[in-house]
Amino acid sequence: GIQVEQSPPDLILQEGANSTLRCNFSDSVNNLQWFHQNPWGQLINLFYIPSGTKQNGRLSATTVATERYSLLYISSSQTTDSGVYFCAVNTGTASKLTFGTGTRLQVTL
């Protein structure tokens, strides 16, 4: 099956700093999503982004499908950005999601 790897595994930032999270996948995908999991376990969809670039406030994402990677940018980080960020993909006609290994982000004051 498809392999999805994320880097870095852990990231500690001071409030106001910017960061880039990376997701590499081993095969072509139909769709790619970025999720934020808060400390209570809730997974929130940030972007559907099979290709191209999208922006939503301080967050933006870029997927280069031909090179099999996606990037999530967080600008001017806030403590509420803390949590685990996952990318997840689905392939072929299947709608099941295969999740990456996650990046744990901690934003400090």
Partner 1 sequence: DAGVTQSPTHLIKTRGQQVTLRCSPKSGHDTVSWYQQALGQGPQFIFQYYEEEERQRGNFPDRFSGHQFPNYSSELNVNALLLGDSALYLCASSWGRGLYGYTFGSGTRLTVV
Number of continuous H segments (helices) and E segments (strands) in the chain:
0, 11
Minimum distance between the CB of residue 74 and partner 1, rounded to whole angstroms? 19
Binding status of residue 34 toward partner 1 by CB under 8 A: no
Binding status of residue 100 toward partner 1 by CB under 8 A: yes
Binding status of residue 56 toward partner 1 by CB under 8 A: no
Instruction: Compute CA distances 88 → 5, 13, 101, 107, whole Å.
Output: 10, 24, 9, 23
- Measured in degrees and rounded to the nearest 5, phi and psi for residue 48 equal -100, 115
Q: Which two tokens stand for residue 96?
A: 């099941």
Stretch that binds partner 1, among 18-26, 34-42, 62-70, 74-82 (CB under 8 A): 34-42
Q: Report CA 71 to chain centroid distance, whole Å.
A: 7
Binding status of residue 40 toward partner 1 by CB under 8 A: yes
Minimum distance between the CB of residue 85 and partner 1, rounded to whole angstroms? 11
Instruction: Catalog residues that contact partner 1 under the rule CB under 8 A.
Output: 30-31, 33, 35, 40-45, 86, 88, 90, 94-102
